[in-house]
Each structure stands twice: as C-alpha cells, then as structure tokens.
A and B are shown apart, each in its own frame.
Chain A
C-alpha cells in the first residue's frame, strides 16, 4: 500500500520535473535521486514480497509536533503521552485496516519557527499522511501552510478560532474555541443575574485571545464589563489589579481568561484580599494541577467551563461520553499513574477522529481521509460529540462544555 503511494508520488514528481525547460543543476540531480529512490523502492517491494511471502503491509504514517517542553509544556506533555499511548494500544489491537500506525513525534518547544521546520520534516522526510499537533495557536498557524501545500489533513490541538475560521480545506481542530468558553460562562452569569463584571486576563496568547473573544460576545448577554485588567504571564502577584476591580462600583463577578500559573495566583490573591464576588476561570486551567497550585481553600467555589473528562465519575450512566472518557482515563492511569488532563483529551480525540476516518476511507490516502474526516458525524470524544461538515471544521457545540465548580478540592457539575 505504502510502497504504491510513494512510487506514485515519486513518479508524479518526476513528471512534473521533466516538464521544466529551465536548466538547474540541483533539479537535475534531484531528478536522478528520485529515480534512484524509485528503483530502490521497487527493489525493496520485491524483496519484501519475496521474503515474507505475504503482501507488503506498510504502515500508516502519522506525524505530530507538540510542545512537550517550553512554556506550553503542561499542554503538550499530556498530548505527547496520549499519542504514544494510544498508537501503542491501537497497534497492539491489530492496527487500522490491518496496517500498523507509525507515529513520528517531535517536540517544538512551543516555538512556531521550530514547529514549521518539524512540519516540513514530517512532510518531506518522514512522508507522513497526516499531521496532528500544534499545541499552541502560534505553532498551529505555522503548520497550516505546510499541510495545505502538501495536501495532507492537519488536526490542530489549539484553541483559537482563527485556525478553522475561515474554513480551510485540510485543517480541522479538536478543542473548543475561546469564544465558546466565553459564551458558556456568560450564559451562566446571565442565569445568575450578574450584569456588571470585571475581567482580569493574562497577556499571553491564550489570555489575550480569549479576552478579545469575550469582549466580542459579552454584549449579547446584557452584561457590561466595568473593569478590564491584565497581568504578564510571569507575574507573581496580582493584588493591585484585583484591588482595582474590587473597587469598581456595582461589580458582581470577575472572569479570569488565562492559563498556566497566572490564574492560580489570581485565585490565591483573590482569597487573600477576601473578595466575596464569584470568580470564573477559563477552560485553560481545567486540570487538577490548578486546584493544587491555587490551594484547596482559595479555589473553593471557582466556576469554569470544562470537559466531561474532569468529571467522569459524576456523569450520569446514560451519558454518551461516559464510556469513552472512562476508558481513556483508565488507559492513561494504567501507563502513567495519574489521571489525564483536558489537554491530553484533545490529542486523544484528534487521533480517534483520524483513525475513524481512515477506517471509513478504507485507506490512508490523504485526500480520501480528508473527505472522510469532513464527513465525521456523531463521533464521541472526550471533549464532546464531534460532527464536522464542509462549513464547520470545529464540530462541537456548547453542549460539549460542562459548567464545573470546585467543591472541597475537587470538581463538581454546577448545572
């Protein structure tokens, strides 16, 4: 299968090249090289079939570049672990369509420039048939042109709406957008009758993007933003900003778009200042690590939109996501000893969506798989139930978000 693909690809390269009239020594050489490679491949295919006496079963090659280290490591690390774990598991169960999955995973450290280089490497050197990854919006945006040019499906693990809006033929994503998180939070605020709120957001990519989206949609809920503060991603104290917000006349609730250590510090300072207003956090801190960092007492009563993964045990038995999240949590605990985070869930869903599409397409041929991904319907993931369409490459709606509240140091459903 794979050999055929490569040979086709190489010969099309050859054709393209021979049509060029301009003389260029590099081209000439590469032509020769691809010719040689073609021979070598044909020879390899012959040998493989001769030796094993079976049809040459090749691998389905999946590329991934995630931020396993660097500032976004707490997102990228569980993503990388999840991909390795699931690929191993799928292969142990016999692979997909009888073919084994082969994962090429690189760590881009959250640097968009490196992400682009690794994406080039995945496409050109490893010759992968799809790319999963792009932990942050920046890295995802730099991978997109590569995937588009190579015409292979790319499933991003980053939040921003720009990734899939406008819809790009080869690009999909698994996490909710910032805008949906804002909408979920504002819907709850409206229900509680809050009309005047304060914002305190991080100036990192996540915080800045979510703040913008929240300000965009807040008007539709009859809510007024009376205070708008910010903090740097490395700041160690947010009491001045919070004191400012506290003093705003008529303020009823505070929302903190941000991820990383910032929101934990905000939450701690919030308790230290004795602010009695309800505090809303974003989905960016939906992990047990947040409660541990902020402290059980300070985090009490904090509300945030999260996924089913965090509250697997609390889901009613009829919930379609329950078996999926429970199975994933057990697998992850089994190999890593800790429960997975929401972010690992993004990678889990991306791989499931891809594998499901390959099964339906009957092959890993990129164009066919892309069409199959776009036709994904009712696929139950950890983040939600995914249904893509030619106009929607996000595939989730607000129902996938659960409003969670922290009670006694653990998660509870607020609705």
Chain B
C-alpha cells in the first residue's frame, strides 16, 4: 500500500512525538517539547491562512491572548470548567475574526495585515490595562485543567511536564490532521486557487471573500487554542502572550520552516522555540542570529527550510 503525502506527514509527526522522549536526558526536555507543540499548533493555523490562502496576519497573538485569558477568567468568574473555557475562547476568537475579517477580506491587497496588526495590539492593550478583570500586566493565575488527576485515578501517573508533553502533542497531531484534511477539501482547493490568482479563482466561480474569511476564522481558532493550552500548562498568564512580538514570532516560525507545508511550519516552530534554549550562552546575540537565519532562508530558500531541503534531496534522487 502506498501512503499519501498526508499520511506520511502525520506518521512522521506522530513518530517524532512518540519517539523523542527516548532521547530526553531529563524531564526538562518534555517542557521544551510541549512548548514546541503549542507553538506548532498556532503556526499550523498560520499555514492555513498564509500558506494556503496567501493572506498575512500580524495580529494572531491577539487570538492567543483571548484563548489564554478565557481559560484564566471563565473558570474564575463564570464557574466554567477550564476545558469548556478553552472552547469558549476559541468561539470568541472565531467570532471576532469573523467580524473583523468580513469587511476587510472583501478588499484586495494587504489590508488584512494592517487590520489584524491593530486588532492584536488592541487585545494586548485591553489585557494590560483593564486590570480590574485581567489582573493587569503582572498577569493572572489560571485554573488547573484537572485531566492529570483523572488519569492518575485511572492508574496512569504522569509528572506535570510529561502530561503536558503528551497532551499538547496529541493536540498538535489533531490540529495537523485537520489542516491536512482541509488542504484537499473544496475549501482548501479554493484557498490555494485564490493564492495563485484571485482573478482566476473568481472566474472559475470561487467566492473569494468567503474562502479567505473561512481561512482567517479557522486560523484564529488555532491560535486561540494554542494560547489556551499555554495558559493551562503554565497555570499563569501575562498579557505578553498577546504581544506584538508573539504575532511576529508565529509568522516567522511559519515562514522559516515553510509556510506552505504543515510539517515544515512545525519544524520552524521547533527551531525557533529551541534556539533561545540552545543560545543561552549567547543570549545577547539571539536576535542577531535569528535575523541572520531569517535572511538566509529568505534569500536562498524562499519556500522555507523544510520544503527546500526536501526538494534538494528529491532533485538528486531523480
């Protein structure tokens, strides 16, 4: 039986998630792993928006902030279970993305980048300044998800870092599976068509505005879930999660690894999450290195790191 590209991608991803722990010298690596998965989830959303549909958002951290603060505030004020709070956050993010995206995405060009940039900054400002509810810039505590205790009562006693590694890894797999399914669905085809040429897509009967809106809403939900998972894992969240730099980081991760491919983007998330850990000795040069890597990728590997390398390997094989 020959596996399709989608199956290959999922298989590789699952294997990486399941087998990496065999090489972990200490449980600190579980923490880094789960951070990669959380970032990878957000970046998968960027793949749908930027890689498939060719739209750019510079405010996705705003949605991550909404997801994160939903998990902090809804259990405390509405008595919701944190898992439902995650769903609520995703719903709010989706609705907000719909409301903002609907007028903006009727326009051609880079209006979405500007509008989302403003939206992200607004969310970050609201989280920092409305301290009577959000706890202000010093951050706020987040309720416990409680799943670990349930697993423990079932006889599976995982440490905190191990649990979050497994849980976020699973979330990433599901996220990647959905994104890959979308790729070959009618909506996915429509998105890729309009990425190539909006006019051509329109002439073959694609509702361009609607397709773009769908991509924006879906990617907002991805970012929101990633923010929620981060908040639930850290049990504490500050408005930094919605900060402008976090938005840029997401886009950078996607572009670095290869915005057109789910696996590539997750690869990019992995590199950029690990880099600060590896470079602790050169902490002051971190930005410099990041800029350099980014420049080199943009000049020599315009498709992103992973797709370019794959092409190189395949090219030799033929």
Contact = CB atoms under 8 A, between A and B. Distances in A.
B31 A120 contact: yes
Contacts of A111: 240
Interface in B25-84: 25-29, 31-32, 35
A186 B280 CA distance: 43
A114 B276 contact: yes
B137 A113 contact: no
B163 to A, nearest CB: 11
A315 B208 CA distance: 74
B34 to A, nearest CB: 10
A22 B156 contact: yes
Contacts of B234: 112-113, 116, 142
A114 B31 CA distance: 11
A21 B157 CA distance: 9
Interface residues of B, number: 40
Interface stretch (A121-129, A187-195, A402-410): A121-129
A24 B156 contact: yes
A113 B241 contact: yes
B138 A117 contact: no
The majority secondary structure among interface residues of chain B is: helix
Contact of B139 (A112, A124, A203): A112
B236 A112 contact: yes
B185 interface: no
Interface stretch (B96-104, B128-136, B186-194, B260-268): B128-136
Contact of A123 (B28, B131, B162, B280): B28
Given A120-B28, A124-B27, A205-B138, A20 B157 contact: yes
A22 B157 contact: yes
Contacts of B276: 114
A29 B27 CA distance: 12
B31 A145 contact: no
Contacts of B139: 112, 137-138, 141-142
B235 interface: yes
B250 to A, nearest CB: 14
A317 interface: no
Contacts of B26: 124-125
A145 B138 contact: no
A69 B161 CA distance: 27
A125 B28 contact: yes
B283 interface: yes
A106 B276 CA distance: 10
Contact of A117 (B22, B32, B154, B235): B32
A208 B136 contact: yes
Interface in A6-34: 20-22, 24, 26, 29-30, 33
Contacts of B236: 112, 116, 141-142, 145
A112 B137 contact: no
A112 B240 contact: yes
Contact of B238 (A30, A112, A120, A209): A112
A204 interface: yes
A29 B35 CA distance: 22
Interface string B280-303: 100110000000000000000000
Contacts of B21: 26, 29-30
A20 B155 contact: yes
Contact of B162 (A21, A26, A138): A26
Contact of A125 (B25, B129, B136, B283): B25
B277 A117 contact: yes
B280 A205 contact: no
B160 interface: yes
Contacts of B25: 33, 125
B240 A68 contact: no
B230 interface: yes
A68 B283 contact: yes
A403 B243 CA distance: 37
A319 interface: no
B277 A208 contact: no
A160 interface: yes
A113 B138 contact: no
A300 interface: no
Contacts of B240: 111-113, 138
Contact of A145 (B136, B158, B235, B280): B235
A117 B128 contact: no
A89 interface: no
A107 interface: yes
B129 A203 contact: yes
A162 interface: yes
A205 B129 CA distance: 10
Interface in B219-239: 230, 234-238
Contact of A209 (B129, B138, B235, B277): B138
A14 B100 CA distance: 54
Nearest to A163: B138
A297 to B, nearest CB: 32
A212 interface: yes
Contacts of A109: 283
Interface string A135-161: 011100110010001000000000010
Given A69-B284, A112-B240, A208-B131, A162 B138 contact: yes
10 closest cross-chain pairs (CB), A and B: A124-B28, A205-B137, A125-B28, A120-B31, A107-B283, A138-B238, A137-B138, A208-B136, A205-B138, A22-B155
Given A20-B155, A123-B28, A205-B238, 20 more contacts: A22-B155, A26-B22, A30-B24, A111-B240, A112-B236, A113-B241, A116-B31, A116-B236, A117-B277, A120-B28, A124-B31, A125-B25, A138-B139, A145-B236, A162-B138, A203-B137, A205-B137, A208-B128, A208-B131, A208-B136
5 contacts: A69-B283, A125-B28, A203-B128, A204-B137, A208-B136
